[in-house]
A and B are shown apart, each in its own frame.
Chain A
Amino acid sequence: DGGITQSPKYLFRKEGQNVTLSCEQNLNHDAMYWYRQDPGQGLRLIYYSQIVNDFQKGDIAEGYSVSREKKESFPLTVTSAQKNPTAFYLCASSTDQQTGNTEAFFGQGTRLTVV
């Protein structure tokens, strides 16, 4: 089955810890995205990547880091510098937004809670 997989579904983090959220896609998509969603809110862009070994900051990149070593994978690390990390994190991929001909496919999300 083609798709985009996020893991884990639920994650608990202690204060001061770094945690990494996994995102894998087998759709052969070039672009990948990380969004944060707070309760009752829309999606805010954290980072996005158009191609392997390249990524761009989104609107709320502070306290987060990413890597794009493989086309299929775009992990997100929530660092201790992120002061309010409790949220629902969504990963997405798409083929080519520049052509305007494509849609984004989303994973099922990771719910991160600070304990």
Chain B
Amino acid sequence: SQQGEEDPQALSIQEGENATMNCSYKTSINNLQWYRQNSGRGLVHLILIRSNEREKHSGRLRVTLDTSKKSSSLLITASRAADTASYFCATALLNDYKLSFGAGTTVTVRA
């Protein structure tokens, strides 16, 4: 079974708007990661947040982590057409090499 579940499944926004997606998970984690996938391609790592961190920024990306609620959010600010992609969260458990992915959020940015 998948550890992480993203919400919403799909998101359509206008260029320049912000996009927010959420990830919930079931068990205690070592870290949580966000990836982007363009259609028919491999995944690209965006950002990693450790279990003892609450917020992290990278360019137009902001990730939060709430371990008490077992949830994370990814915010993309000032979206661009190039941000159109699927976004996945992935969790790494303590003392385990497994990296488990959710089903993803498909983001469409309209020009």
Contact = CB atoms under 8 A, between A and B. Distances in A.
Given A44-B2, A105-B45, A109-B40, A98 B95 contact: yes
B68 interface: no
Contact of A103 (B40, B48, B98, B104): B48
Interface stretch (A13-21, A35-43, A64-72, A73-81): A35-43
Interface residues of B, number: 28
A102 B92 CA distance: 10
Q: Which of under 10, 10 to 19, 20 to 34, or 35 or more describes the interface residues of A?
A: 20 to 34
Nearest to B104: A42
A115 B22 CA distance: 38
Contacts of B101: 35, 42-44
B31 interface: yes
Contact of B42 (A44, A48, A56, A109): A109
Interface of A: 6, 31, 33, 35, 41-45, 48, 50, 56, 58-59, 88, 90, 92, 94, 97-98, 100, 102-109, 111
23 contacts: A31-B97, A35-B101, A41-B104, A42-B2, A42-B88, A42-B103, A43-B101, A45-B99, A45-B100, A50-B97, A59-B1, A92-B43, A92-B99, A98-B96, A98-B97, A100-B50, A104-B43, A104-B99, A106-B44, A107-B42, A108-B41, A108-B42, A109-B40
